[in-house]
């Protein structure tokens, strides 16, 4: 095969599979960008509600994964808030964040994608090598591109929920921060 034929064969020919592959790349890119923004908002929320020293926040939590950041924010909320209504509201926010992170792990933590019969097949490394079938990867055809199409908006909605919660209840957190400024021992603070 000549070089010209190799090049033309590698270019998209606008077939259904090529369109699907291009859409998949675009959707994953948009999802990753919005998720990174959500992760930054989570880190800033920890800074704003608890630490109030951004360089220190970065020293303590910079590079921490999403689950760790969410756990730290949850600790701050539960330390600060006693009102059941507010804790219930935070629970809804947290549920949205956990759902987005689960979807992120499903779509991002994979080895590769391939197209077979105009369906996207996810190729994922197995957790345990040497399983009975002797294969190192699983091939999952249960990929739902319609779910991926909705995810960027879901990430934006989750980020909006988080920032709305912070904005709505910032006074409670600030009051607790001031109360504990001289004596951070929660046993002495009533």
pLDDT at residue 145 in the model: 79
9-54 pLDDT, tens per residue?
A: 443 444 556 787 788 889 989 999 999 999 999 999 988 887 777 7
Please give the Cα distance from 11 to 6 (Å, whole number): 9
Please give the Cα distance from 109 to 123 (Å, whole number): 10
Beta bridge partners of 120: 115
pLDDT at residue 172 in the model: 86
pTM above 0.85, yes or no: no
Residue 29's alpha-carbon distances to 4, 61, 163, in angstroms, are 30, 25, 23
Closest CA to 162 of 48, 68, 84, 63: 48
Regarding beta strands 137-140 and 112-116, do their DSSP bridges make them parallel or antiparallel, or are they unpaired? unpaired
Could you state, in order of their start, the residue ranges of all structural domains in the chain? 15-102+146-177
């Amino acid at each position: 095969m000549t070089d010209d034929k190799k090049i033309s064969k590698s270019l998209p020919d606008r077939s259904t599979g090529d369109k699907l592959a291009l859409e998949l790349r675009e959707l994953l890119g948009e999802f990753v960008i919005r998720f990174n923004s959500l992760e930054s908002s989570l880190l800033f929320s920890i800074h704003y509600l608890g630490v109030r020293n951004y360089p220190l926040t970065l020293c303590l939590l910079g590079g921490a994964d999403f689950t760790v950041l969410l756990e730290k924010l949850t600790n701050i909320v539960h330390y600060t808030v006693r009102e059941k209504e507010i804790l219930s509201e935070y629970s809804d926010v947290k549920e949205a964040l956990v759902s987005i992170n689960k979807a992120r792990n499903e779509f991002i933590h994979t080895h590769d994608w391939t197209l077979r019969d105009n369906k996207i097949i996810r190729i994922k490394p197995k957790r345990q090598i040497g399983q009975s079938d002797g294969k190192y990867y699983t091939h999952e055809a249960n990929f739902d591109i319609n779910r991926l199409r909705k995810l960027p908006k879901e990430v934006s909605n989750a980020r909006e929920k988080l920032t709305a919660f912070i904005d709505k209840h910032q006074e409670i957190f600030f009051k607790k921060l001031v109360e504990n400024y001289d004596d951070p021992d929660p046993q002495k603070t009533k």
